[in-house]
Amino acid sequence: MQPSGLKDRLMRGDTVANAWLTIPSAFAAEAVAHAGVDSVTVDMQHAPIDVATMVTMLQAVTAAPAVPLVRVGSHDPAAAMQVLDAGAMGVICPLIDTPEQAAAFVRACRYPPEGGRSWGPTRAKFAHGGYDRTVANDEILTFAMIETPSGLENLGTIAQTAGLDGLFVGPVDLSLNLTGQPVVDLDSGPLMGALEQVIEACTTHGLIPGVFASNGQEAARMHAIGFRFVTVGADAAHMTRGLSAATKELKAN
Ligand code: 3PY
Ligand code: MG
């Protein structure tokens, strides 16, 4: 099994640019994976992407110089196991509120004796040049999403979960929970304090600090406060912004 190198880079302290896929299309995934990003995450939580389409998207990413990851839609251990068997090299799990949920998530991503992942890397073995229990346990990235008041409250214990690699902030849900609005405001309000708490928990417990950002400017600000696994935006949003700017440019002349 070929290591992806992504975990190693993150553990060494590198910053990684991650793109977010919401369009259910292998071609869109391929284009995004060639944009110079280090990793690409297929979003199975909010995007209209079914399992069969997700497989074609992972295939497209695997053929490009970017590492394929998936955000699963639920805490069901079967969801994490299925995307790993399909070839994801890491899993982001939404809405982690408790250390028990974090432990169950990590357990689904690690083969025994470290965890309870069932053997069956049906596509992963072709995608990664074979599949090996110990290499997979070392290489597969696990990110628990912090995006609720309970997640924030339990940060200290969630961060101590054995086998967890990183915390990944969902700033939109976190803002919705903290302010009543799904609006990311880094300049006023409680979000910045919450982000700093997550960075501190990662520093204390040796975890990778990850976050979603919707554009380059926001990503740069997240990086400046300490996040190193940084999403630089989602496919559909970048497409809309680019085309909208081009249309405005045309019509301004
Ligand atoms: C959030 O910001 O809540 C996310 O889940 C990012 O996709
Ligand atoms: Mg969210």
Domain, as residue range, for 197: 6-251
46 is catalytic: yes
Q: Is residue 106 domain-resident? A: yes
What are the average pLDDT values for consecutive 10-residue runs of the chain, which has 253 residues? 95 97 98 98 98 98 96 98 98 98 98 98 97 97 98 98 98 97 95 98 98 98 98 98 97 91
Mutation pick for ligand 1 pocket among 40, 41, 147, 177 (CB with most ligand atoms within 8 Å): 147
List the beta strands (DSSP E) in the chain.
16-21, 39-43, 67-71, 90-93, 141-146, 166-169, 208-211, 229-234
CA-based angle 151:152:158, to the nearest 5?
A: 55
Longest dimension (CA), the chain: 65
Q: Is residue 1 domain-resident? A: no
Residue 117: strand, helix, or coil: coil
CA distance 18 to 213: 10
pLDDT of residue 220: 98
Ligand nearest to the CA of 175: 1
Atom number in ligand 1 closest to CA 43: 7
> Distance from the CA of 211 to the center of ligand 2, in angstroms?
11
Mutation pick for ligand 1 pocket among 22, 71, 146, 172 (CB with most ligand atoms within 8 Å): 172
Give the CATH number for residue 94: 3.20.20.60
Q: Say how many residues make up the chain.
A: 253
CA distance 20 to 3: 22
Atom number in ligand 1 closest to CA 20: 7
pLDDT of residue 59: 98
Task: Report the number of distinct structural domains present in the chain.
Answer: 1
pLDDT of residue 253: 81
pLDDT of residue 73: 98
Atom number in ligand 1 closest to CA 171: 2
pLDDT of residue 150: 98
Q: Which two tokens stand for residue 4?
A: 């992806």
Q: Which two tokens stand for residue 190?
A: 């409680």
Nearest CA to ligand 1 atom 4: 170
